[in-house]
Amino acid sequence: MDKVQGFLVGLGSRVTDRLWRLGFAARFFVMLLVYSGQTFLRPHLLLREIWFSGVLSLIIILVSGLFVGLVLGLQGYDTLQRYGSSEALGVLVALSLVRELGPVVAGLLFASRAGSAVTAEIGLMKATEQLKAMDMMAVNPLARVVAPRFWGGVISMPLLAALFSMMGVFGGYLIGVVFIGVDEGAFWSQMQSSVDFREDVLNGIIKSFVFGIAVSLIAVFEGYDSIPTAEGVSRAITRTVVTSALAILALDFVLTSFMFRSL
């Protein structure tokens, strides 16, 4: 009986802890939005964060995009040529990338590269009392440190996803047209006629924007809420990567089910 009671008490306390943390995160998000004005009034703060989150993530995004495109080209050609429609390779590569793989894989990479870095930076600033010092200097850390990093991520993410898709399409072109010899005109013209800007490209951009908000919010929140010790910061970084990945995949399912209802 004691074991059952202990289990229920443990479960209840864990659930209330999670709910409490969720509430704290929601309140944190509202405060973050309230203190975001300064970020846009002082563009150098924002540009610095776009540099760190966006520009420094370019290498991993571009290289990964290229490889994903190369693989899509190989796999797609292998399947399509069985049905005699290898000219549709361009459509397959482009639709796969702009609708799904671009936003999702770029989001996962962004969470691992930039999200973890943001959590580590804010967590270490907290652990070394830099945030407290800033607060004592009458400078709000939410406005000065957290908001620019959040918006830097939100702005960078759709651009990175677009570049990922672009490199992917280029990879598909390299494999399909340059190496295998699919007709170049068919590759591009079928892609042009079958990929709809609003239905496919715009929806992909909306997805990457939503993922950018989710990953950036998780990253800054985990850093700000981390336990100010070496172990606490390392756990916060792990939580950022894991929670971001789950959030991206779950949000992708929800967004896809709303966006492509005709399916």
Partner 1 sequence: MPADSLVKISDLSFSYDNRPILNGINMDFPRGKVVAIMGGSGCGKTTLLRLIGGQLKPTAGSVKVNDRIVHEMGHDELYDMRRRMGMLFQFGALFTDIPVYDNVAFQMREHTELPEELIRDLVMMKLNAVGLRGAHGLMPNELSGGMARRVALARAIALDPMLMMYDEPFTGLDPLSLGVIGQLIRKLNDALGATSIMVTHDIQESMLIVDYIYFMSEGRVVAEGTPDELRATKDPFVHQFLYAEADGPVPFHYPAGDFSADLLRVPARG
Member of 22, 59, 137, 178 binding partner 1 (CB under 8 A):
137
State the nearest-atom distance from the C-beta of 132 to partner 1, in Å: 7
Query: Among the candidate windows 61-69, 76-84, 122-130, 160-168, which touches partner 1 by CB under 8 A?
Result: 122-130
Which is closer to partner 1, CB of 226 or CB of 243?
226
Residue 68 vs 125, nearer CB to partner 1 = 125
Chain centroid to Cα 33, Å, comes to: 19
Taking the complex as a whole, the smallest distance from the CB of residue 122 to partner 1 amounts, in Å, to: 12
252 sits near partner 1 (criterion: CB under 8 A): no
Q: Which is nearer to partner 1, 135 or 252 (CB)?
A: 135
* One residue of 17, 78, 129, 196 binding partner 1 per CB under 8 A: 129
For residue 41, state whether it binds partner 1 (rule: CB under 8 A). Answer: no
- Using CB under 8 A, count the residues that bind partner 1: 16
Yes or no: say if 216 and 154 are a contact pair by the CB < 8 Å rule. yes
**Token pair listed for 64:** 């990964």
Which residues of this chain interact with partner 1, rule CB under 8 A? Answer: 121, 124-125, 128-130, 132-140, 144
